[in-house]
Amino acid sequence: MKIALCQIDTVIGDIENNKAKIIEGYNAGVKDGVDLVIFPELALVGYPPLDLVEKKEFRSAVNNAANEIASVTKGTGLLFGAITEDDDLIGTDIHNSAILCYDGKIQFIQHKTLIPNYDVFDEMRYFDQAKDVHVHLFKDEKLGISICEDIWNDADYWHRRRYSIDPVKKLIDKGASLLINISASPYSYGKRKDRQQMLSVLTRQDKIPLAYVCCVGAQTDLIFDGASMCFDSKGYLVRLGKAYTEDYLIFDTKENYKPVKQSEGTFEKEVLDALIYGVKEYCGKLGFKKLLVGLSGGIDSALVTYIAVRALGKENVHVVLMPSEYSSQGSITDSRKLISKLNISSEQISIQPVVDKTIEMLNHAFAGKTAGITEENIQARLRGLYLMALSNKHGYLLLTTGNKSEMAVGYCTLYGDMSGGLAVIADVYKTDVYRMVKYINRDEEIIPVEIIDKAPSAELRQGQKDQDSLPEYELLDKILRMYLEENKEQKEISAIIGDDKVVKEVLRLVDINEFKRKQAAPALRVSKKAFGYGRRYPIVQGWRK
Active site residue ranges: 41, 112, 148
**Please, which residues have CB within 8 angstroms of residue 55's CB and are 6 or more apart in sequence?**
none
Range 164-173, long-range pairs (CB < 8 A, 24+ positions): 165/113, 165/114, 167/113, 167/114, 167/130, 167/133, 168/144, 168/202, 170/133, 171/133, 171/135, 171/144, 171/145, 171/146, 172/144, 172/206, 172/208
Burial of 525 (0-12, 13-18, 19+ CB in 10 A): buried
- Rounded-to-integer distance, Cα 451 and Cα 447, Å: 7
* 52, 12 Cβ separation under 8 angstroms: yes
**Please, which residues have CB within 8 angstroms of residue 413's CB and are 6 or more apart in sequence?**
377, 380, 381, 384
**Which neighbouring-strand residues pair with 292?**
318, 398
- 345-348 sheet: strands from edge to edge: 345-348, 317-321, 291-294, 397-400, 422-423
* 149, 186 Cβ separation under 8 angstroms: no
- Of 495, 380, 478, 466, nearest to 431 by C-alpha is 478
Helix (H) or strand (E) segment spanning residue 490: helix 490-497
Burial of 85 (0-12, 13-18, 19+ CB in 10 A): middle
Torsion of CA 327, 328, 330, 336, to 10 degrees: 20
- How far does Cα 396 stand from its chain's mean position? 22
Helix (H) or strand (E) segment spanning residue 493: helix 490-497
Q: Sign of the C-alpha dihedral, residues 149, 152, 154, 155?
A: negative
Beta strands in 42-127 (DSSP E): 77-85, 94-102, 105-111
Helix (H) or strand (E) segment spanning residue 511: helix 500-512
What does DSSP say about strands 136-138 and 210-214: parallel, antiparallel, or unpaired? unpaired
Task: Tally the residues of the chain.
Answer: 545
Q: 205 by DSSP, 3-state: which? A: helix
- Rounded-to-integer distance, Cα 375 and Cα 363, Å: 11
Burial 453-474 (b: 16+ CB within 10 A, else e): ebebbbbbbeeeebeeebbebe
- Of 298, 243, 289, 293, nearest to 422 by C-alpha is 293
- Rounded-to-integer distance, Cα 80 and Cα 41, Å: 7
**Please, which residues have CB within 8 angstroms of residue 394's CB and are 6 or more apart in sequence?**
290, 292, 318
- Rounded-to-integer distance, Cα 450 and Cα 354, Å: 29
- Of 513, 449, 454, 520, nearest to 484 by C-alpha is 513
